[in-house]
A and B are shown apart, each in its own frame.
Chain A
C-alpha cells in the first residue's frame, strides 16, 4: 500500500442504516468554557467498580488532585477538575441506575494545579500502563471502558493491529472530528506510544467519508510519519461500532461473546489516543472533555471544552441558552444517548455531546403497536440478531429464549428501533433482557 493515497475500505458490514448526519457543528472550532461556580463529580464514570471518595466535606482541592479511587482492577481513578472547596458528599444516581457518591465542589476560580501533576517519566511498558491507569482514562468514544484494562491483553493474545476510531457515525456529534482537525499531531504521537506498547505491526485510522477535511489532514500527517494508514469508510450507521469497524478495515469478524483482542485487534477512539500523548507530555489527568452542544433549541451550537463535573445547565448557558424550553435533553448521540432527567446532571468523562430537542423533533418516539413481523429489524441488525424475537423473549422474561437468540451480542446501536414501523421499544427491551440474564446468572 502506498503511503500517499487515501485507501478506501472495501468490506461492507451487514445491515446498518443511512441516517441524516446533522453535523451542524463540524466547522465550529472548540471554545474553552470558563470555570463554573460549582461542579459535581460522581464516583462512577466508567464501566466497573465505583470509586471511593478520598476527600471529605470542607477539604480544599486543587486541579488534578485525586479525589476518588478503588482498589479494583476494572475501575478508573477520578480527579478534581477544579480548585476550590468540597461543599458536600452527596448521593447521585447514575445512568445505569447505580447509586453512588458524588463530590460537590465550590470553585474558587484560581484553578491552582495540584503538586502531583507533573510531566511523568517511564522506562518500560509496565510503567506506562501504570501511568495510563493513574490518568483516569476511559474509552472516550462513549463506552467508558477503563483504557488500562483494554491495553493489557493476556500474554497469549498477540495484537497485530491498532485501529484508531475516527468514524464518529452518530448524528450531530463532531467532537472526534474536531480532535482530528485541531489536534492531529497529538493523535499521531499517541499512536506511536500505543503502537510501541502493544507491539502492533500496523495502525489503521478509520474515518467516514463525510469528513473529507479530517481525512485530508490526517493523511498529510501520516505521509510525513509513515506506517499509518488512513482508511476512508462509507458513511453508514453504525460504522464506528468496534466490531463493524474491525470488519470494515481488516475483514476480520469478532466471534460471538468475544473481544476484538481475540482477533488480534485493539480499537481506540481518536480522543483517547490523543489524550495518552497529552498526558505523557503534561501529566494532567482526565479532567476536561470536548462536548458537542447542539440541537434545534440551542442558540449557539458549538464544540465546547468543558471541565468534567460541570452541570449541563451551565454548558447550555455558555452556548447562549435555549430558544425555547427543551422537551428532551440527550447526553450522547440521538441513536445511543440517554435522555436526561435534570439539567443539574454533570458532564462525565465519556460525554461527547449534549443535545437539546424541541417537542416536535423529540416526539417522533410514538406509542408502540404490535409487531407486524416485517423483519426490517433483522435486515438492519449489524450483529445479525433477530431483534423481534429478543423483544418478545424479554417482555415475557423468557431467559431461555434470550440465551437462544444471543441477547448478549447486541451492541445496542439502535438501528432496529429506528427502522421499526410499529415503533416498538426494541433496544430498551434488549437492555432489559441483558439485565434479566445477568440477574439469573448471578
Chain B
C-alpha cells in the first residue's frame, strides 16, 4: 500500500471522527426538551388534521393541550373517548365530569354525525328562480335567499361539500347528503352552511325530521312535497313524548326516542325518515 493512498484515508477518516465526536457532543449539549405527553396525545388523536378544534391540525392541538391552552375535550372528532385518554395522559383524572354508565359510555363513544335536515330536491321542492352565478351557497343566499322556493331549504351548491375534510358530503339532485360512514362529526359543515340546516346529532339517533322550515303548513305545502306541515300527528302518536313542536316544525329528541318507527308511518308528507 502506497503512501498516496494512506494520506486521503487518514484525512477522510480523521474528519469523520472529528465531526462524529463534535455532533454527538452537540446533541447532548444543545438538546431540545420535548414534552413526552405531546407525542402520546398526538397518538390518541384521530389524525385527520381537519382543524375543527380551531388549531391548524392535530400536532398543534396536542401541543396546545400539553401546554394547558386547550381543553382535553377540544377534539370534536375524537369525542368523549379521546378526551378520556387525553385526561389520563395529562394526569387530570379519568373521572372528570362524572363517571358515565356502561350504556351511556357506549353511546358516547359512537360519537356524533352531521345530518342535513332538508328533503327538498329539485323534484320535491319548487324553484324560486334559475341561478346563474358563482357556485357557492353563501353567494346564492344573498340573492333573495337562494334559488329554492323554500327559504329554509338546502341551496345545493356544495359549500358544505368543500368544507368537509373527509369527503363525507355529496350533493345529489340539488340536495346535500351526509355519508354517515365517512362523517367524523367535526362540525365544519355545520359552520359553513348559510341556511343552518346541517345539525350534529348522536349516531344512535335513527329517526329524524328532514325539514327545517318554520313556515306555516299551508305555505310549506305550496312550496315543497316533503316539508313538515306541522299537522301534529307524530306528536300525538309518540308514546314516549320524544317529538315536540318548535315553531311549526316537529323535532325529535334523540335522548327519548325509542326507535319504534310509529312517527314514520303516520307522517303524511314522509318528512320523518328512518335512517
Question: Chain A: residues with CB nearer than 8 A to chain B?
Answer: 90-91, 93-97, 99, 338-339, 341-342, 365, 394-395, 425, 428-429, 431-432, 435-436, 439
Smallest Cβ-Cβ distance to B163: which chain A residue: A397
**Interface flags, B218-248, vs A, CB<8A=1, else 0:** 0100000000000000000000000000000
B59 at the binding interface (Cβ < 8 Å):
no
B145 an interface residue at 8 Å Cβ cutoff? yes
Q: Which of B128, B134, B145 contacts A395 (CB 8 A)?
A: B134
Q: Within the complex, which residue of A91, A342, A432 is in contact with B142, where a contact is CB–CB below 8 Å?
A: A432
**Cβ of B136 under 8 Å from chain A:** yes
Q: Is the Cβ of B134 less than 8 Å from the Cβ of A338?
A: no
Judge whether B146 and A97 touch: CB under 8 Å: yes
Known: A91-B151, A91-B219, A428-B133. A97 touches B139 (CB 8 A): no
What's the least CB distance linking A365 to chain B, in Å?
Answer: 7
Q: Are A338 and B143 in contact (CB under 8 A)?
A: yes
Contact present for B145 and A432 (CB under 8 Å): no
Say yes or no: A97 contacts B134, CB within 8 Å.
no
Q: Which 6 A-B pairs have the closest CB atoms?
A: A341-B129, A432-B139, A93-B145, A97-B145, A428-B133, A341-B128
Interface size on B, residues (CB 8 A): 17
Complex partner residue of B144 from A341, A365, A425, A435, CB under 8 angstroms: A341
B215 on the A face (CB < 8 A) = yes
- B40 to chain A minimum Cβ distance, whole angstroms, is 33
How far is A394 from B133 in the complex, measured between Cα atoms in Å? Answer: 13
Question: B215: nearest residue on chain A (CB-CB)?
Answer: A91
Tell whether, in the assembled complex, residue B134 and residue A425 are in contact, meaning their CB atoms are under 8 Å apart: yes
Partner of A428 from B139, B146, B151, B219 at Cβ < 8 Å: B139
Closest to A429 in B: B134
The closest CB in chain A to the CB of B162 belongs to A397
Once A365-B132, A428-B133 are accepted as A-B contacts, the answer to whether A96 and B138 lie under 8 Å apart by CB is no
Bound-state CA distance A94–B133 (Å) is: 18
B: residues with CB less than 8 A from A are: 128-129, 132-134, 136, 138-139, 141-146, 151, 215, 219
Residues of A within 8 A of B143 (CB): 95, 97, 338
Interface centre among A90, A425, A428 (most CB of B within 10 A): A428
Verify B145–A431 contact, CB threshold 8 A.
no
Q: If A395-B134, A432-B134, A435-B138 touch, does A97 touch B219 (CB 8 Å cutoff)?
A: no
Contact A96 B142 (CB under 8 A): yes
* Residues of chain B lying within 8 A (CB to CB) of residue A365: 132
The CB with the most chain A CB atoms within 10 A, among B132, B134, B151, is that of: B134
Residues in B with CB closer than 8 Å to A91 are 151, 215, 219
A-B contact pairs, 9 of them (CB 8 A): A99-B145, A338-B144, A339-B129, A341-B128, A341-B129, A365-B132, A428-B134, A429-B139, A435-B138
How many angstroms from the CA of A409 to the CA of B139 in the assembled complex? 18
Residue of B nearest to A345 (CB): B144
What distance in Å separates the Cβ of A424 from its nearest Cβ neighbour in chain B?
A: 9
Nearest opposing residue in chain A for B152, CB measure: A99
Whole-angstrom distance between the Cβ of A132 and the nearest chain B Cβ = 30
A99–B212 Cα distance when bound, in Å, is: 14
Q: How far is the CB of B155 from chain A (nearest CB, A)?
A: 10
Cα distance, A342 to B145, chains bound together (Å): 13
A341–B140 CA distance with the chains assembled, in angstroms: 13
Tell whether, in the assembled complex, residue B139 and residue A431 are in contact, meaning their CB atoms are under 8 Å apart: yes
How far is it, in angstroms, between the C-alpha of A432 and the C-alpha of B128 when the chains are bound?
Answer: 20
Query: Which residues of A lie under 8 Å from residue B151 when comparing CB positions?
Result: 91, 93, 99
Which residues on A sit within 8 Å (CB–CB) of B133?
A: 425, 428
Q: Looking across the interface, which residue of chain A has its beta carbon closest to that of B146?
A: A97
Residues of B within 8 A of A338 (CB): 143-144
Beta-carbon contact of A431 and B142 below 8 Å: yes
Separation of A436 and B142 alpha carbons in the complex (Å) = 11
Distance in Å from the Cβ of B138 to the closest Cβ of chain A? 5
Give which listed residue, B132, B134, B138, B144, contacts A95 with CB less than 8 A: B144
CA separation between A432 and B132, bound complex, in Å? 14
List, in ascending order, chain B residues with CB within 8 A of A436's CB. Answer: 138
A432 interface neighbour in B138, B144, B215, B219, Cβ under 8 Å: B138
Q: How far is the CA of A177 from the CA of B133 in the complex (A)?
A: 33
Measured CB to CB, the nearest residue on chain B to A93 is B145
Contacts of B141 in A (CB 8 A): 97
A176–B143 Cα distance when bound, in Å, is 26
Give bound CA distance, A432 to B136, whole Å. Answer: 9
Measured between alpha carbons, how far is A429 from B142 in the docked complex, in Å? 11
Residue of A nearest to B149 (CB): A341
CB-CB under 8 A from B142, the residues of chain A are 96-97, 431-432, 435
Neighbouring B residues of A99 by C-beta, 8 Å: 145, 151
Q: Which residues of A contact B219 (CB under 8 A)?
A: 90-91
B242 vs chain A, min Cβ distance (A): 29
Which residues in A have their C-beta under 8 angstroms from that of B128?
A: 341-342
Chain A residues in 8 Å Cβ range of B146: 97
Q: Which of B143, B144, B145, B146 has the most chain A CB within a 10 Å cutoff? A: B144
- CA separation between A326 and B211, bound complex, in Å? 34
- Rounded to whole Å, the gap between the CB of A339 and the closest CB of chain B is 8
B219 to chain A, nearest CB (A): 7
Give every chain B residue within 8 A of A395 (Cβ-Cβ). 134, 136
Bound Cα distance from A318 to B144, whole angstroms: 26
Contact status A93-B144, CB under 8 Å: yes
Question: Looking across the interface, which residue of chain B has its beta carbon closest to that of A368?
Answer: B134
Q: Chain A: which residue is nearest B130 at the CB level?
A: A341
CB neighbours (8 Å) of A435 from chain B are 138-139, 142
Contacts of B144 in A (CB 8 A): 93-95, 97, 338, 341
Which A residues are in CB contact (< 8 Å) with B132? 365
Q: Tell me how far the C-beta of B27 lies from the nearest C-beta in chain A, rounded to whole angstroms.
A: 39
Q: How far is the CB of A345 from chain B (nearest CB, A)?
A: 9
Q: Which residue of the partner chain A has the closest CB to B192?
A: A397
Residue of B nearest to A436 (CB): B138
Q: How far is the CA of A342 from the CA of B133 in the complex (A)?
A: 18
A439 to B141, CA, bound (A): 13
**A97 cross-chain contacts in B, Cβ below 8 A:** 141-146
Say how far A400's CB is from chain B's closest CB, in angstroms: 14
Please, which residues of chain A bring their CB within 8 A of the CB of B215?
A: 91
